[in-house]
Structures are given as structure tokens and as C-alpha cells.
Amino acid sequence: MDSALGNLRILDFSRVLAGPFATMLLADLGATVTKVERPGSGDDTRAWGPPYDETGEATYFQSVNRNKDSVALDLADAGDLARARRLARAADVVVENFRPGVMDSHGLGYDHLRAENPGLVYCSITGFGRGAGAALPGYDLLIQALGGLMSITGPADGEPQKVGVALVDVLAGLFSAVGILAALRHRDATGEGQRVEVDLLSSLLAALVNQASAYTSGGVVPQRMGNQHPSIAPYELFRAADGDLVVAVGNERQFAALCDVIEAPELASDPRFAGNAARVEHRVALREALVARLGTRPATEWAEALTAVRVPAGVVNDVAGAFRLAADLGLGPVVALPREDGSTVALTRNPIGLSATPPRYDSAPPPLPDAARPTTPDQVTA
């Protein structure tokens, strides 16, 4: 095998972000993914712009749909529905993120398909599960609000803030990919498929990690703290002479080194700052002392000096700066994928490194399919 998932066939009914992100990750690892789209308009994100690339394609759609084929099927049309069922019967994995009950109404639910395809792995992504929250709309911003993330994001005296990317959808996509791979491992051992269920709310709650356990295990309801950390200090943003600087001290050696670099050794010996718990308790006084010193030199100078003594520190990059940094570090953050017309599109590479079966980058996100003509071999035979 020249790819980790080279024999895997995935039929992807999902739209927008969580499902397409999951199937793109699996496509990068070699799976053959056929994306099912609405005739005429396709995936919602095809219209989510600006920004657009040089060909007029929405960059949102481009971000999660590489290495896929696409077919236009109207599930309300008897002929298209029959084709969808045939494709599903031949698939190893089906992924969908419709409201609970929609796929069942078309005869494409898990119980329908597993009767003819017992080895099928069927992944359903919902907003709030199939129970009492089945009818609730699962939009990322709504989940960030209802799931507590906005309550711990933003300044302490400001309004709740969303994260600058649809983080819950990304998390749900990652959990879905892990669940699918676990189900396939089980199928390899037993020959039996199973249903994989991931909901956005549970994905967010799981991703709250220490903030969640503060509540579940400690009875503490976390609050917004701006750029400060609830359990570590100093671990935050500081204003330097010319810009912003992040300092992330995680242990005593790093704190002592920080004090040496800023020429304030008295802070290291101050009993108020002797140990992380003490620094957290006296974080206001510690911040005042650090602000007074860090404001005397440019952020880049502090970052270089602190990094030299292995104290985690850096300036706040914009997205362009982040990609430049990754390139400078030899991480190769961008890949160019070929389009059907011979042009290319630049996208972020898959971060997974595999020594024997690395991710592949065979094709750009597919153009909107012509519903009147087959575009893949599977469509022809179906």
C-alpha cells in the first residue's frame, strides 16, 4: 500500500465543516472519498465568501474538500436516491451530518444500510445528539455559546467572545475521524461495522479539558480571564515597548531564567512568587512587576533573549506571520494541489507525519459537479 487508507471507500453526505474536515483528513491518508452535493448549488460553503481564490472559488470550501470526487444527487428524486443507495451499499464508510431522522426518511439511515452492508461504518455528526436536542440547530457559534467556551474567552470585564475560527466544528471533525478509524479497526478484527456518533456539544465539553475538570472535579465555574491562565503564572500577554509579547512560564527553572533576563532577580526570591501556586495567588502584583520591566524593550528583543534561555516566549503573529514562521522552521506548511484546468491551489498541509504512508495531495477540491453527467467511475457503474 502506498497510502494508509488506500483500500477505503467513503461516501460523504456531510456539508459545511465538521464532516468535510473529517473526510478530507481520511482522503489525505489515501481513502477514496465521494462527496454528495445538492444539484445546482452544492455544499453551502461554496457560496461562503469573500474571500475567493483567483478562480472565483470560495476559500472556505477549498479548506476542507481536497482529494475528493463529487457527485450531484437530489435525494428527493427517485433515480438519484436509488443511485445514492447503491453507492452506500458499496461503501466502507458513510458520513452524514443531517438533522437526526433525515437520512432515515430517505432509506439511507444506519439501520437501513447495515442490513445490506453489515461491514459498514456509519458516522453521524449532530449538533446535540439524537435525543432531546435532536431538533436544535448545530451551528458552531451557537455551540460555543451554549457549551461554555464563550464564557471563558475574552477580557474579564468585556463581553463573551467566540474563538476566531469554527473551532467546535474542527474538534468534532477530529473526533469523527478518530471514531471512524477505531470502528474500522474493530471491523478488521470482526468483520462487523458499527455506528459512530459525534455531537458538537459533547465535542466541545471534552475539549474544555482542565476548564471542564475544574467544574466536574473541583466545583469551580471558570470565568473569563483575558489572556491569563487560571492555573499558571506568568502565562499571558504583555505589552512590550513596540508590541505584544507572550510569556508562558511552566516551571521554576523558567521563572528564574525570566527574572535573570529582565534583570529582576529579587522576583525569584520573593516569597509571594515562590512556586506556581503562590504566583497564581499573587498574579496581580507579579504582573505589575513584569509589565514595568517588559515595557522597556521591543517585543522581538525580549522574545529572542528569553528563547535563548529556553523560556517560552514570542511575539503575536498574524496568519501570514504564522505561515512564514512555519516555513522558516522547515515545516512546509503549504501544499499546491492540481486543478482539472492545469492550475493549482495552495492549501495548508495535513499535519500528520507518517514515515511509510505519508498524506497525499492528489487533487484540488472538486468543482461543482454537473448533475447531468457522471464524473467518477462509481457514478458510472451506479
Nearest to 45 by CA among 75, 81, 74, 18: 18
Which is more confidently placed, 375 or 105? 105
Q: How many residues does the chain have?
A: 382
pLDDT tens column, 177-200 = 999 999 999 999 999 999 999 999
- Alpha carbon distance 36, 52 (integer Å): 22
- Alpha carbon distance 176, 180 (integer Å): 6
Residue 1 — very low, low, confident or very high, per pLDDT cuts 50/70/90?
A: low
Give CB contacts under 8 A, 24+ apart, made by 206-209: 206/171, 206/175, 207/167, 207/168, 207/171, 208/147, 208/148, 208/149, 208/152
Domain 235-326 -> CATH class: alpha beta
- Alpha carbon distance 155, 102 (integer Å): 41
pLDDT tens column, 223-272 = 999 999 999 999 999 999 999 999 999 999 999 999 999 999 999 999 99
**Catalytic annotation present for 169:** yes
Whether the predicted pLDDT of 371 surpasses 60: no
Whether the predicted pLDDT of 143 surpasses 60: yes
Residue 381 — very low, low, confident or very high, per pLDDT cuts 50/70/90?
A: very low
CA dihedral (155, 143, 170, 320) positive or negative? negative
Helices (H), 236-340: 252-261, 265-269, 276-281, 283-294, 299-308, 319-328
| Averaged pLDDT score across all residues of the chain | 94
Cβ atoms of residues 71 and 81 within 8 Å: no
pLDDT of residue 370: 76
Which is more confidently placed, 89 or 376? 89
Q: Which three cell numbers stand for residue 382?
A: 451506479
Catalytic residue among 169, 188, 242, 378: 169
Region 355-362: mean pLDDT is 96
- Alpha carbon distance 54, 268 (integer Å): 54
Query: What is the model's pTM?
Result: 0.92
pLDDT tens column, 320-357 = 999 999 999 999 999 999 998 888 999 999 999 999 99
pLDDT of residue 378: 43
Whether the predicted pLDDT of 362 surpasses 50: yes
User: Scanning the structure block, which residue is given the C-alpha cell 471563558?
Assistant: 152
Domain residue extents for the chain: 9-207+347-381, 235-326
Task: Tell me if domain 9-207+347-381 and domain 235-326 are identical in fold.
Answer: no
pLDDT of residue 377: 38
pLDDT of residue 341: 86
- Alpha carbon distance 109, 96 (integer Å): 9
Whether the predicted pLDDT of 208 surpasses 60: yes
CATH 3.40.50.10540 describes domain 9-207+347-381: yes
